[in-house]
Amino acid sequence: MKQLSFVALSRGIPTYPISLGSNIWQYVQGSLGRHYRSAADEFDSLTGDILCRNKVYSNELINRLGFPGVVHEVARNPDHAAKIAALIGYPVVTKPISAGMGKGITTSIDNPDELVAAFKLAASISPRGVIIEKYVKGTDHRLAVFGGELLWVMARYPARVIGDGVHSIATLIGQENLRRKGDIDKKAIMQDAAMDELLAKMGLTYDSVPAPGKAINLRSVANVSMGGTMEDVMPRIHPDNRYMALAIARAFRMNAIGIDFITEDISKSWRESSCAVIEVNQTPGVLCYIRAEKQLNRMFPSGNDGRIPTILLIEAPPRISQAGCYIITGCQSVCWPGNRITNFSRQAPQGEIV
């Protein structure tokens, strides 16, 4: 939300919260105004929002549409999770039924012992049950659709450091965070228990010194909110994958939607590769200035700050009031006693100054 507001304010577009604490903001005033929550807007449907919030519902709809969904089942307890994992085959992924920003997700689980810990993590967020999902190999891509148009496709990578053969992982994390300081498009990499466990699984510690050029993934999920990075791959997307994203947005009745699509090559059709739509998101996220600008320009073209042209006339003769109103609105307006001007039918043309 910060990026969208920053772009709006830099263009002089009126921006203010609808209600404190709601995280819903209004951009522009009057009939031209729009509500946004992150990148979701007022044109999204309630039914689509319900489908997006529940990963089981959304996956069923993806499969009904004939697009590649995931193989998964909801587990009630760790024993049930173990039975599901044995049935669909390791490696598996555990995730809450409904949660965003990568919370509670563990990927590439290889054995029952890891599954127990991962189940408990997801269950702490999702007491109704935990999704046990067949792991899909590939790169996570975010396909963002707004108003029936695919605006961007981003390959997303987990938080990671690149070894230089000299510095430890802890030092490399510190150096990377220094580079990110002041960059509104990147979050700091934070050490925690999940990172400790992932390093231990690879036989590493924070004191380990990776070989030159060796990439060390510090997270199992590719979320920017958890220190991940992104790459613009829009020019490479296959037409079939583009069509899929637009069809999903229509089926979910969502004006703004983020589709998480795992594939090893975004330039190959979903029909010809091992891939899956793993999630759909009702708030695609605008975590970059350039994308925030692109989204805002969709609603408010460059040069239009959305303000309603206004003139203040004090003790002006009716004819002057009428003329001023016509200049602004292009219509014959009614002037009531006190020179109140009504019947504003259009915004002033660009460049008109009164």
pLDDT digits (tens, 9 = 90+) for 10-65: 777 878 788 877 778 788 777 777 777 777 778 888 899 899 888 899 999 999 99
Write down which residue in 168, 191, 218 finishes a domain: 218
Query: Is 117 inside any structural domain?
Result: no
Answer left, alpha or beta for residue 58, where phi above 0 means left and psi between -120 and 50 means alpha. Answer: alpha
Query: Is 241 inside any structural domain?
Result: no
Going by pLDDT thresholds of 50, 70 and 90, the confidence category of residue 322 is low
Those residues with Cβ within 8 angstroms of residue 44's Cβ, 6 or more apart along the chain or in another chain = 253, 254, 255, 256, 257, 282
Digit-coded pLDDT (tens) for 198-217 = 899 899 999 999 999 999 99
* The pair of three-digit structure tokens given for residue 185, joined into one six-digit string: 């498009």
Integer angstrom CA distances of residue 303 from 32, 94, 337, 350: 14, 47, 35, 8
Query: Is 255 inside any structural domain?
Result: no
Give the C-alpha separation, 101 to 258, whole Å.
Answer: 12
Cβ proximity of 132 and 85 under 8 Å: yes
- Output 46 or 296, whichever has higher pLDDT: 46
The domain total for the chain is 2
Write down which residue in 200, 218, 236 finishes a domain: 218
Percent of the chain with pLDDT over 90: 42
Query: Is 85 inside any structural domain?
Result: no
What does pLDDT average to over the chain? 82
- What residues are paired with 261 via a beta bridge? 141, 277
**Above 60 in pLDDT, residue 349?**
no
List strand residue ranges (DSSP E) for 306-351, in order: 335-336, 340-341
- Output 242 or 281, whichever has higher pLDDT: 242
Query: Is 68 inside any structural domain?
Result: no
Helix (H) / strand (E) containing 115: helix 112-123
- Average pLDDT (318-336) is 57
The whole domain housing 339 covers: 310-354
**What per-residue confidence (pLDDT) applies to 24?**
81
Give the C-alpha separation, 209 to 193, whole Å.
Answer: 20
Digit-coded pLDDT (tens) for 150-209 = 988 999 998 999 999 999 999 999 999 999 887 766 789 999 888 998 899 899 999 999
Query: Is 176 inside any structural domain?
Result: yes
Write down which residue in 150, 183, 218 finishes a domain: 218
- CB count within 10 Å of CB 12 equals 10
Query: Is 185 inside any structural domain?
Result: yes
Instruction: Give me the long-range contacts of 191-195 (CB less than 8 A, separation at least 24).
Output: 194/106, 194/121, 194/219, 194/220, 195/219
- CB count within 10 Å of CB 178 equals 10
Give the C-alpha separation, 122 to 217, whole Å.
Answer: 21
Digit-coded pLDDT (tens) for 88-107 = 999 999 998 876 666 788 88
Cβ proximity of 93 and 133 under 8 Å: yes
Going by pLDDT thresholds of 50, 70 and 90, the confidence category of residue 68 is very high
Give the C-alpha separation, 244 to 259, whole Å.
Answer: 10
Residue 251 CB-density burial (10 A; 0-12 exposed, 13-18 middle, 19+ buried): middle
Whether the model clears a pTM of 0.85, i.e. scores above it, the answer is no
**What per-residue confidence (pLDDT) applies to 309?**
66
Going by pLDDT thresholds of 50, 70 and 90, the confidence category of residue 341 is very low
Query: Is 146 inside any structural domain?
Result: no
